[in-house]
Amino acid sequence: MFSKIASKLHGESNALYRIRDELKTQGHDIRDLVSGNVNDQGFVFPQDILEEILVRGARRCPIYHPDSFGQRPAREAVSEYYREYGHEISPDHILITPGTSISYWYCFKLLADEDDEILCPCPSYPLFDYIALLSGVKLIPYPLRESKGWGIDIEQLEACISTKTRALVLISPHNPTGHVSPPEEITALADVARRHGLAIISDEVFSEFLFGHKSLPRPFHSAAPLVFVLNGFSKMFALPGMKFGWMAVSGHADKVRQAIRSLEMISDTFLPVNEIVQASAPEIFQRGRDFRIGFARQIRECWNLAENFLAQSNNCSYIRPDGGFYVTVQTGEADEEIAAEAILRENHLLIHPGFFYDMTPNHLVMSFVQRPGTIREEFPAWLKTLEKLQEGS
């Protein structure tokens, strides 16, 4: 009765989450130090402003007139956003989507046939496995080197390329390592893409949250034959429920034209983006600018506070993230799975072991985007538990 894909989509509860559920049934309050939902941590776009914007947006579209690419004013607002950073991207080369996950699916279906391959960084976020499964493509991991600050190993990446490779994914800032690809790394990546005729899918959802760079280095107008830059409102404006994202396409003119033509048909098949949200997007960009800047500052403050505790721990080793919401911490001789379970049982904190992200042993992964009080209270607690485990190893 069901497809082969359906048989692979039954999520199985792992040991860590079974412990979490057990503790919850016992009445314990479990704090999630992994979730990327910033609204749960008190970071929320001003509701009074959002309500005004949405009311005006609804008045702008009383009659349904869809556009396969997304409404022109919304695409012009995205184009203007990139212009602020020195990148000229025509609104005609921008496609509005209901979020980055769907943008990935569009790219995978556009670029690859069944059993073709797309290179994806490792460590990586588990979501890609399911998108690839639904798209019928194979993900081939290319390594990020912890010894190089989680930078891309260009030689090893190129060694992963086969006759079936169609594209490579760049995530910068990277989730979960926080690595930001510098210009020279992007240049090298684009050169590989040029020589092998590959597209670059550049995921920039954490682009506003940088700890060293003034602005994010981007592969726009690089040597790569085709580049898809993905982003959206979810992280940028702390608006995950708006479901507003986009793809900006650049590269060789003929390939861009073909990509845009095909994407128009893919998008027209579903027309999935809410019209009121699209009509509201230009004003969210405009009136939300101060919030966006202030939000990024708050995230930097969260990291600075979290790093104070990490740096004070004698047995804690970590690579300082260049951006994003997450940090990876080495557990030393302590087994990462045992450490995550001990922290959950003793401190009632959910932290992921590194193998959830195909990370080499032994690491823990957590988000530092928390309320300041949570960081002050919980970080010393789980660090103490980790230190006890290390001493007993």
pLDDT along the chain (393 residues), means of 10: 83 87 97 94 97 98 96 98 96 98 97 97 91 95 97 98 98 98 98 98 98 93 96 98 98 98 97 98 98 98 97 90 98 95 98 96 96 96 95 77
CB 334 within 8 A of CB 345: no
What letters, b where the CB count within 10 A reaches 16 and e where it falls short, cover 263-288?
A: beebbeeeeebebbbbbbbbbbbeeb
- CA 181, 185, 187 angle in degrees (round to 5)? 120
Q: How many CB atoms lie within 10 A of CB 104?
A: 23
* CATH of 47-287 among 3.30.420.40, 3.40.50.2300, 3.90.1150.10, 3.40.640.10: 3.40.640.10
What DSSP state is assigned to residue 237? T
pLDDT at 316: 84
pLDDT at 78: 98
Distance, CA of 365 to CA of 344 (rounded, Å): 13
pLDDT at 347: 98
CB 211 within 8 A of CB 324: no
Give the strand pairing for 226-232 and 245-251.
antiparallel
Q: How many CB atoms lie within 10 A of CB 202?
A: 28
Task: Give the phi and the psi of residue 10 in degrees, each rounded to 5.
Answer: -85, 105
CATH 3.40.640.10, the chain: domain bounds? 47-287
The domain covering 9-41+290-392 belongs, at the CATH homologous superfamily level, to Aspartate Aminotransferase, domain 1 (3.90.1150.10)
CATH 3.90.1150.10, the chain: domain bounds? 9-41+290-392
What is the torsion angle, in degrees rounded to the nearest 10, for the CA atoms of residue 241, residue 181, residue 41 and residue 317? 150
